[in-house]
Amino acid sequence: MPDGDIVHDRLRRLYHEPYKWLCQGKATSDECARAVLGKLKKDIQNKGNLPIVLIQSMADSLIQSVSTINELGAKEYAALSMEFDRLVQQSDGRPDLKELALRAGKSILCDLRYGQGIDVGNASGLMVKRYINEVYESEFKERIPLTSKHYAGVDHATLSERIKEIEPHIRIGISKFAEDATNKHGVARLSLPKRSSQKAIDRDEDLLAG
């Protein structure tokens, strides 16, 4: 397919290159994953610090509640959910970004309520990780199937399998971005994982849990 043709009309241009790599099947899973992560990094940085700031506020509210009351009940969880809504509503910025941050915050709150073993002390980092994963899913992965014909004539099943193969690398990259954004209080200085670390870890599913 000539470069001038439509690559994928439901996928933002930012992600066209890694999509083409996955379709062509010439690059390794590691190379394809790093191409996706490079674009995801740029996407997160372009979206700015608003979601990180909101997440930090939600995490602070959660930590304060847990420190005041050892065991939260239904009343406290409802109050926290309303507090998350209030923090988002009172902030200025793009509604879609505020919604992504809110979904990340409430997903952690929900997991905590139903006994998923959430580390409350790292609530901010966990929420940021959920946020970045939401961006990956909504901007790239979930858009891939939204076309009747893929680039280079690859079929849906083959492309789906290639996306599954890059997932361990993607999860490691998202974790690294979340760690950077949390520790540095913003998205300006995100970095990709080192290649050697990926190759050493991506075969061990236990290390990818959470």
SS3 of residue 120 by DSSP: helix
Q: What is the pLDDT of residues 18-75, one digit of tens each?
A: 999 999 999 999 999 999 999 999 999 999 999 999 999 999 999 999 998 878 899 9
Within a 13 Å sphere around the CA of 132, how many CA atoms are in the beta-carbon half?
A: 31
Q: What is the pLDDT of residues 141-199, one digit of tens each?
A: 999 999 999 999 999 999 999 999 999 999 999 999 999 999 999 999 999 998 854 44
- CA distances for 141 relative to 18, 36, 160, angstroms: 11, 10, 10
Evaluate whether residue 20 is within a structural domain: yes
- Our count of domains for the chain comes to 1
Indicate the length of the chain as a whole number.
210
Evaluate whether residue 210 is within a structural domain: no
User: What is the Cα–Cα distance from 14 to 172, expressed in whole angstroms?
Assistant: 21
**Closest C-alpha to 42, from 191, 203, 204:** 191
Residue 6 belongs to what domain range? 1-204
DSSP 175: H
Residue 200 has pLDDT above 90, yes or no: no
Q: Has this prediction a pTM greater than 0.85?
A: yes
Evaluate whether residue 47 is within a structural domain: yes
Evaluate whether residue 209 is within a structural domain: no
- Residue that is written with structure tokens 């939204």 in the block: 146
**Closest C-alpha to 139, from 41, 31, 56:** 41
